[in-house]
Amino acid sequence: MRTFAERVADLRVEGPLLVSDRSSPLGAAWLPDVAVGVDLAACGYGEWEYLLRGFAEVWTWDAGFRAQCIGERPFTTRVLVRRPLDPTRFSGSVQLEPHHPDDDRALTWAMIAPWILRGGHAHVGVTQEPATVPDLRRFDPDRYERLQIVHSGQRWDILGLVAGAIRVGALPAFEDLSVSCTVMSGWSMTGTFCRTFLGEGFHERCWYQGSPVIDGYVICISSGGAGRAGYARLGDAILPPDDARRTIGAHSVPIVELLSEGEAETHHSVLRADADGPQDRYRLYEVAGTGHVITGTPSLTTNRLQMERRGFPPLLREINEKPSDARMDLVARAVFESMERWLRDGAVPPRAGRFAYADPTTDAPRGLMDGSLPLARDADGNVLGGVRTPWIEVPAAAYLPHSTPRPGRCKPAPHAPYSDPVLLADLIAHMRPFDPPTLRRRYGSPARYLQRFEQSALQLCAAGWLLEADLPELLDSRRTACARF
């Protein structure tokens, strides 16, 4: 069996692939004709797409759920890189993520792109799910005809090999940059990918010249206690619910879990304490007033629009309730900034309170996921505990993590782990706005409401849960609530 370093040395890169009127990357940062996405050129950034090929180990479980390598298979994947055009602006930090199988989207980019651009960081997205390869070929047969991921058990090694390629400068986009740290992250299914990457020992296998090629992890909206959704399969079976690998352990590098209310309902069985030891650096952040599918965040990805233009069916996620306007992305940017300072300066990040659970004998779970425990809520219906966001501390609505599907207008994506509209809508957060008499009784006037909301936001900024640069965006988004007075 070849070593990790040998497989990194064997990698071959093709590209960057050309961009034309007829061909551009799926998930290109910016669509200028409709002004959708992020205008990288205006921010001094460039975007490059490569095909990376080599041999990745294939991993599965034996009968006792022990990881085993069953050999190597060739692969060709695509790697999408965004970085500052001016090398002197590069911070040294790379944000690496496996693309989500729904439309091959980069969900970390969708959440924190403004923070990446402000800080001079680089972003690298990697196609890793075999089921998306046919979609990519259909989207652009000429561009993606050579993609090849023949076994789902290759995914883990592919991500490790890309991290290794970044480390050694094998990707041309990094030839003139000095990389100081690489953080891997994911959301939902790709957050679960990161959990499994750690739990199955891939972090420890992907070392180069005595150090890991991944320096930290941010695992977002993935619950280790959520059955098959909470831990990816290396074989055909589902990891038992009481298996210790579902709980994040010590891996010598900083690890953060970032959850909404939706995941916290099943995460109770895998909770663990925060830690600051030399071999165990860990934080869990649960964000009040947020849900698994985040509707209040502006869309920064272009994949779905690009695919619809090529004849793919539209994405339908309509619910009967009013979609939530909560901004999980703004909290996420602060969390990634904390991770950056943890790695760069050794600055210990803040700790946060955890959600409170209700009495399961008197409060039925609101979600459909097996093993859910209801969260404790105040008289308005808002959750108790967790990171106390301004929309919860100065509420104009009740925020709830589950919804119901609008008939005929809520359909799961082809590669989603949920199978029907009811399960999809159960992942979508909604809000119940307070009526005008309630708003006037609580705040008196729109100006007073906005003043208190801003005070709350400033307090969170001082505590490290929001970034000062994002406050104008948050405050602008709250002005719509004033129309209800």
Measuring CA to CA, which residue among 434, 178, 429, 173 is closest to residue 290? 429
Q: State residue 447's pLDDT score.
A: 94
- pLDDT tens sequence across 300-316: 999 999 999 999 998 89
Rounded CA gap, 248 and 230, in Å? Answer: 12
**Does residue 281 carry a pLDDT above 90?**
yes
For the segment 40-69, the average pLDDT, to the nearest whole number, is 97
Across 185-189, 264-268, 436-440, 480-484, least confident range: 480-484
Rounded CA gap, 287 and 267, in Å? Answer: 13
Q: 480 or 322, which is more confident?
A: 322
Q: State residue 370's pLDDT score.
A: 76
Q: What residues contact 230, with CB distance under 8 A and at least 6 apart?
A: 192, 195, 222, 223, 224, 246, 266, 270
**Does residue 422 carry a pLDDT above 70?**
yes
The chain-wide mean pLDDT, for the chain, equals: 95
The predicted model scores a pTM of 0.97
Q: State residue 224's pLDDT score.
A: 97
**pLDDT tier, 46 (very low <50, low <70, confident <90, very high otherwise):** very high
- pLDDT tens sequence across 222-247: 999 999 999 999 988 999 999 999 99
pLDDT > 70 in the chain, percent: 98
Rounded CA gap, 399 and 288, in Å? Answer: 9
What is the amino acid identity at position 17? L
3 state DSSP class of 140 = coil
Measuring CA to CA, how many Å separate 208 from each of 96, 343, 432?
17, 18, 51
Q: State residue 413's pLDDT score.
A: 79
Q: State residue 417's pLDDT score.
A: 66
- pLDDT tens sequence across 343-383: 999 999 999 999 999 987 766 556 667 788 999 999 999 99
Q: State residue 1's pLDDT score.
A: 79
Rounded CA gap, 447 and 453, in Å? Answer: 10
Domains, the chain, in order of start with CATH, read 4-345 (3.40.50.1820)
Q: 298 or 77, which is more confident?
A: 77
